[in-house]
Structure 1
Amino acid sequence: MASHLSGYCWLLTILLIAFLLCSAATAGDVPAIIVFGDSTVDAGNNNYILTVAKGNFPPYGRDFDGGVATGRFSNGRLVTDFVSEALGLPPSVPAYLDTSYTIDQLAMGVSFASGGTGLDSLTARVASVIPLSQQLEYFKEYIERLKVAKGEDVADEIIAEALYVFSVGTNDFIINYFHLPLRRAAYTTAEYVAHLVGEAGAAVRAAYELGARRVIFAGLAPIGCLPSARTLNHDAPGECDEEQSQVAVAFNSALAEAIEKLNDELAGARVVYSDTYNVISAVLSNPSDYGFVNIAQGCCGTGLIETSVLCAFNEHLTCQDADSYVFFDSVHPSERTYKIVANKIINTDLKLLL
C-alpha cells in the first residue's frame, strides 16, 4: 500500500513539473509586449512632447523602483508593466520616445501610448498629445528599426508572436464629449459610441496589417465613479455619475461585439476584449475585501480634482499610503488597483491568447 502511495505521489510530482514547464514555455513564447493607448499605459512618451499632460514629477512615481517619476500617471507601475513581468519579460515597459533605451531593449517591449489621447483624433488635438494614428506610425518605424537590428526573420517573428495591448477611449468621454461642445453637437451619445468603436476596429486592423496577431483591447472602467466625475456631479456631489458610467457600459458592449466580428474577419489573429469595468466595479462595491479604505478621492492633493500638474501644486496634501486608495489622482488608479486589473488579464485574458 505504501509503495502504491509513493508511486502515486511520484506520478503527481512528475505531472506538476510537466505542467509548470509547459506554462513557462507558453509564457516564453511571447517575445515582446507592444502597447498603444492613453495615460493608463503611457510609460513616459508625453515627457518628450509639448503638452501639459505629464506625470514626470512628484508625487507620481513615488512607489516606482527608485522612486522615479517616469511619466507614468500613477504612484508606481501600470497594468502593462505587471503583464510584461508575468510573461517573463522586463518588469517595466519602456516608452518609445525615451532615447535612453536601445532597440535591443525595445525589442522585448515598447509603449507608444500618450496620456490624454483617444480613439477620436480630436481628443488628441485638444490635449496636444500623440493620436492613435501617429502611434501606429511609430510602430511602423519600430518595425524597420527591429529589422535593421535583428534581421528581417527575427523581427518578423517578434512582431508575429508579440502581445499587443490597446487601452484607450476614456478621454474621448471625460475630456471631449462630456465637457466640450463640438462632438455633442455632431453626434448623439449612441452615434458617438458607434464612431469610437469604429475607430477602435480600424486601429486593430491597422496593427494587423503590420503583423499583429495576439491582441488585447481593454474596455472602459466605470468612468462615472472617477473622483473627478464625483466632484463634477452637480446632481449628486460626491456620488458616482451613473449616466457617464452607463455610457461606458454601452461602449464596452459595442466594443465586445465589434471584437467578435474582428476575430471572424482577421485570419490568423486572436483579439480579446478585456473587461476592466467589472473588475473596478467589484473593487468599488467592496473595497475592504481588497484592502482599500478610500474609493471616492485620489491620493494626490485634495483628491477631488487634481491630476497631472495639479498634483504637483498640491503635493504637500498627498496621502501617506497610496495602497489604501483605489485612485492615485482624480482620474488614474493607484499601482495597487492596476495590479488587480493586471491579475485578471494574466489569469483570464492571456489564456485565450497563449
Structure 2
Amino acid sequence: MEMETMHILLLFIIQILVQGSKTGANKVPAIIVFGDSSVDTGNNNYLPTIAKCNFEPYGRDFPGGTPTGRFCNGRLPPDFLSESFGLKPTIPAYLDPMYNISDFASGVCFASAATGYDNATADVLKVIPLWKELEYYKEYQDKLKAYLGVEKANEILSEALYTISIGTNDFIENYYTIPGGRSSQFTVEQYQDFLIGIAEDFLKQLYHLGVRKISFTGIAPMGCLPAMRTTNFMDNHGCNEEYNNVALQFNGKLSKVVSKLNRELAGFKLVFADGYSILLEIIRNPFKFGFEVADVGCCGTGTFEAGILCNLEGPFTCTDATKFVFWDSIHPTEKTYKIISDYFLMHSKEFR
C-alpha cells in the first residue's frame, strides 16, 4: 500500500483541455486510470490480498459514508478530475461487478493498491501488476468497441484523458523493505533506471494502442509519510531526507523520459504531473492550508496504521479528518486531495 499521491493530475489535465478549447475540440469524454492506491477506486476488493480497505473507517466521508476500497476517508484525485470535466463524480473500478461497459464508457479505473512498475512489487501483496492493468485495458477496448461500435469507441479512446499514478511502492514496499531483494541486486540509482525503463515501455505501449493524452505523475516526498517518520529514529521522527532525495532524483529522470517521448511520438500529449513540491509545502506549512496535523495520520495512532490496522484501531481514529493532512500512515485525506486539485484549477492560466 502507499500513497503515491499527489500525483496531481489536474494541473496538466487542464492544460490539455485549454489547448483543446482553442481548436474547438473542448472535450474529454472519459477518464481512464492506471496506477496504485493513490488512484485505486476499488479493484483490490476483488483480489485475494490483504491490501484492501473495504471496511470502516475508510470511506466514512465518501458519499453515503460507504467504504469503497479507496484508501482514503473520501474521494480520490481521479474522482475530482472526472467531476471537473463535467463527467460523473466518481470513477468505477474495472473489477467491480456492480458496473458494466455502459458505466465504463465515460471513465474506468484499472489501478491496484500496493502495485508498482516492478512486477516484484505487485508480488509482495499479490495485487495487479502493471502489465496486467494494461491487459485489462486491452480487454476494455474490445468491450467498448462492441458496445458503441468501432468508430465511436475509437473516438472516445483517443480523446480520453489517461492518468497514471505509480512508483512509491517500488521503494517503500519493495526496495527498502524486502531483505535480499532488489536492494541486493541494484544500487538505488540502478533501480531508478530499471523502473524508468519499465515506465517508458509502458507509455510506448499505450501510444501504440491509440492513447494520445496522458497525465503521468512522479512520486511524492515519500520520506515525509507518517509511516516513514515513525521509523526515522535518527532524526527524531522527522522526514527521511534520503527517501525524499530519491523521489526527487526519480522524478527528474521521469521528466526527461516525458520530454523524449513527446519529441519522438507524433501527436502524443504527454505531461509530467509532479506533485512533490505542493505536497511538501502542505506538510511543512499545514496551518496555511487549514490543517492542524501533518506528521501523523487520522487513523488510530496515525504512526503505522494502514489498511486492516485502521479497522482494528477504529475506535481511536480522529473524529475530524479535515484537520489532518494524512488519513492513515501512508495516504492523504480527501481534503488534501481536494486542496491540491483546487490549487491547480485556480492557477491553470500560467500553464496555458
Where 1:206 maps in the other structure, the secondary structure is helix
Q: Which residue of 1 aligns with 2:232?
A: 233
Distance 1:195 1:343, change over 3 A: farther
Distance 1:343 1:261 in 2: 29
Distance 1:317 1:27 in 2: 50
- Shift in Å at residue 102 of structure 1? 2.2
**1:231-270 correspondence runs (5 A):** 231-270=230-269
Distance 2:220 2:141 in 1: 31
- Shift in Å at residue 26 of structure 1? 6.9
Q: Which residue of 1 aligns with 2:338?
A: 339
- The residue identity in structure 1 corresponding to 2:68 is T
Distance 1:27 1:296 in 2: 44
Distance 1:271 1:223, change over 3 A: same
Is the aligned partner of 1:162 residue 2:172? Answer: no
- Shift in Å at residue 80 of structure 1? 0.9
Greater Cα offset, 339-348 or 206-215: 339-348
- Shift in Å at residue 341 of structure 1? 2.7
- CA displacement 1:142-176 (0-9 Å, x = unmatched): 00000010000000001000000000000001100
Q: Which residue of 2 aligns with 1:119?
A: 117
- Shift in Å at residue 265 of structure 1? 1.6
- The residue identity in structure 2 corresponding to 1:230 is R
- Shift in Å at residue 226 of structure 1? 0.2
Distance 1:26 1:167, change over 3 A: farther
- Shift in Å at residue 202 of structure 1? 1.2
**1:277-296 correspondence runs (5 A):** 277-296=276-295
Q: Which residue of 1 aligns with 2:43?
A: 45
What are structure 1's unaligned runs of at least 5 residues?
1-19
Q: Is the 8 A contact 1:272 1:349 kept in 2?
A: no
- CA displacement 1:296-349 (0-9 Å, x = unmatched): 001001100000000000000000110110000000000011112323554567
Where 2:325 maps in the other structure, the secondary structure is strand
Distance 1:246 1:88, change over 3 A: same
- Shift in Å at residue 245 of structure 1? 0.6
Distance 1:135 1:349 in 2: 30
Q: Which residue of 1 aligns with 2:4?
A: none
Where 2:138 maps in the other structure, the secondary structure is helix
1:141 to 139, 142, 146: 139
Structure with bigger helix share is 1
Q: Which residue of 1 aligns with 2:6?
A: none
Distance 1:350 1:57 in 2: 40
Distance 1:26 1:197, change over 3 A: farther
What are structure 2's unaligned runs of at least 5 residues?
1-17
Q: Is the 8 A contact 1:28 1:87 kept in 2?
A: no
- The residue identity in structure 2 corresponding to 1:211 is G
Distance 1:143 1:348, change over 3 A: farther
Where 2:234 maps in the other structure, the secondary structure is coil
- The residue identity in structure 2 corresponding to 1:222 is P
Distance 1:26 1:45 in 2: 36
Q: Which residue of 1 aligns with 2:322?
A: 323
Distance 2:23 2:93 in 1: 27
TM-score, length basis structure 2: 0.91
**1:1-354 correspondence runs (5 A):** 29-181=27-179, 182-344=181-343, 346=345
Q: Is the 8 A contact 1:51 1:129 kept in 2?
A: yes
Q: Is the 8 A contact 1:27 1:88 kept in 2?
A: no
Q: Is the 8 A contact 1:44 1:71 kept in 2?
A: yes
**Structure of higher CA gyration radius:** 1
Distance 1:52 1:140, change over 3 A: same
Where 1:235 maps in the other structure, the secondary structure is helix
Distance 1:85 1:237, change over 3 A: same
Where 1:297 maps in the other structure, the secondary structure is strand
- The residue identity in structure 2 corresponding to 1:323 is T
- Shift in Å at residue 24 of structure 1? 11
Report 1 or 2 for greater relative contact order, CA contacts < 8 Å, sequence distance ≥ 6.
Answer: 2
Percent identical among aligned pairs is: 49
**Equivalenced residues, count:** 333
Structure 1 consecutive aligned stretches of length 4 or more whose deviation exceeds 4 Å: 22-28, 344-352
Distance 2:253 2:246 in 1: 11
Distance 1:183 1:284 in 2: 30
Distance 1:87 1:259, change over 3 A: same
Q: Is the 8 A contact 1:165 1:217 kept in 2?
A: yes
- The residue identity in structure 2 corresponding to 1:30 is V
Where 2:64 maps in the other structure, the secondary structure is helix
Distance 1:149 1:115, change over 3 A: same
